[in-house]
């Protein structure tokens, strides 16, 4: 496909979406303990490509693509105890495809893109949220501008991997909140964006992703060991895709949803260490991509996202109980 055709197709896909074929997991099905999905109060602002994190007794949904692909700075928080939402102080700068992480009761929102249509401008920005003041402050910027990246907390530092700034990235850097400083670490073997990352068994797991919307869709799982500053291959996903979310729960990893150019995924998959394999759980009620996930009160919350490849933002708020 020529670059001219690609540039012509991408804006149309992002604005209108395409039908997409719903795809369930290709992994062996776990019928003994499939887990359950429940539906909860909808997200007040429908949006996709959001950052999601749990802080205290709330699930935060941050930024994203809103109406007609406009970047938003909207921040909304959900309280499971009352099944209610509240609107908080917006981000200092609207962004879509950011990442979020929580360290020692502090919420950090990292990077993302500006602009309504591609080519989007990637950002190095880092904002810290103070829940006591409902206010944001600016912290030291990333070393590498990026959006559609993944972040997770390992050893008290926020690790950021992958993403894109005009092309998929391998770069890996870590943020020390106490020192307000970033440092470079060993790059991922596979350059990719729209991936997920979790801290699991004292290592960082980088999961799935893609080279571009119409490019390679990766099933790759790559595992970073901070003791050696090195990477190794892990068990690949049953099927490659981007736009996924992932959460580590006790001794398992759960991966949700995703997209490829003509497919939208309802897959819920769990990594089982004993068998070193991925197994399928109860599929998502609403297939989605452009999502984030947060663990709170024993349930995994997945608000927002999009219901067709490329677009179709939603305000769905569903929770998975393993």
Say if residue 318's pLDDT is above 80: yes
Question: How much is the average pLDDT of 32-47?
Answer: 96
What is the pLDDT at residue 3? 39
Is residue 14 helix, strand or coil? helix
pTM of the predicted protein model: 0.93
Of 85-89, 143-147, 267-271, 308-312, the range with the lowest mean pLDDT is: 308-312
Say if residue 42's pLDDT is above 90: yes
The distance in angstroms from the start CA to the end CA of the chain is: 42
What is the pLDDT at residue 7? 41
pLDDT tens digits along 50-84: 999 999 999 999 999 999 999 999 999 999 999 99
What is the pLDDT at residue 19? 63
Residue with tokens 């941050």: 62
Say if residue 292's pLDDT is above 50: yes
How far is Cα 16 from Cα 11, in angstroms, rounded to an integer?
A: 9
What is the pLDDT at residue 22? 87
Say if residue 294's pLDDT is above 80: yes
Q: How confident is the model at residue 6 (pLDDT cuts 50, 70, 90)?
A: very low
What is the pLDDT at residue 30? 78
Question: How much is the average pLDDT of 170-181?
Answer: 98
pLDDT tens digits along 95-128: 999 999 999 999 999 999 999 888 999 999 999 9
Structure tokens at 73: 């700075």
| Cβ(267)–Cβ(280) below 8 Å | yes
Question: How much is the average pLDDT of 188-213?
Answer: 98
Q: Mean pLDDT score of the chain, rounded to an integer?
A: 93
Domain 18-321 falls in which CATH fold? Neuraminidase (2.120.10)
Of 16-25, 91-100, 146-155, 215-224, the range with the lowest mean pLDDT is: 16-25
Closest CA to 151 of 189, 233, 207, 113: 207
Task: Give burial (CB, 10 Å; 0-12/13-18/19+) of 119.
Answer: exposed
């Amino acid at each position: 496909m020529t670059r001219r055709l690609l540039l012509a197709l991408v804006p149309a896909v992002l604005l209108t979406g395409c039908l997409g074929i719903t795809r369930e997991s290709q992994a062996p099905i776990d019928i003994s303990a499939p887990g359950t999905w429940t539906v909860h109060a909808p997200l007040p602002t429908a949006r996709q490509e959001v950052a999601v994190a749990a802080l205290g007794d709330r699930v935060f949904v941050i930024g994203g693509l809103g109406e007609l692909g406009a970047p938003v700075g909207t921040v909304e928080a959900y309280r499971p105890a009352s099944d209610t939402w509240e609107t908080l102080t917006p981000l200092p700068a609207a962004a879509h495809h950011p990442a979020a992480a929580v360290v020692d009761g502090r919420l950090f929102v990292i990077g993302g893109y500006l602009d309504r249509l591609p080519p989007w401008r990637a950002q190095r920005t880092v904002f810290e949220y103070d829940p006591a003041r409902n206010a944001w402050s600016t912290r030291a910027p990333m070393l590498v501008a990026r959006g559609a990246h993944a972040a997770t907390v390992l050893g008290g530092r926020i690790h950021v991997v992958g993403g894109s700034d005009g092309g998929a990235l391998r770069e890996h850097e870590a943020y020390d909140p106490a020192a307000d400083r970033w440092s470079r670490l060993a790059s991922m073997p596979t350059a990719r964006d729209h991936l997920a990352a979790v801290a699991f068994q004292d290592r960082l797991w980088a999961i799935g992703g893609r080279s571009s919307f119409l490019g390679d869709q990766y099933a790759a799982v790559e595992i970073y060991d901070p003791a050696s500053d090195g990477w190794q291959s892990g068990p690949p996903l049953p099927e490659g895709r981007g736009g996924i979310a992932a959460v580590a729960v006790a001794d398992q990893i759960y991966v949700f949803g995703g997209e490829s150019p003509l497919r939208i995924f309802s897959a819920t998959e769990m990594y089982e260490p004993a068998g070193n394999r991925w197994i399928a759980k109860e599929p998502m009620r609403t297939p989605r991509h452009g999502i984030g996930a947060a663990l709170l009160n024993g349930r995994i919350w997945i608000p927002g996202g999009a219901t067709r490849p490329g677009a179709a933002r939603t305000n769905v708020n569903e929770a998975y109980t393993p």
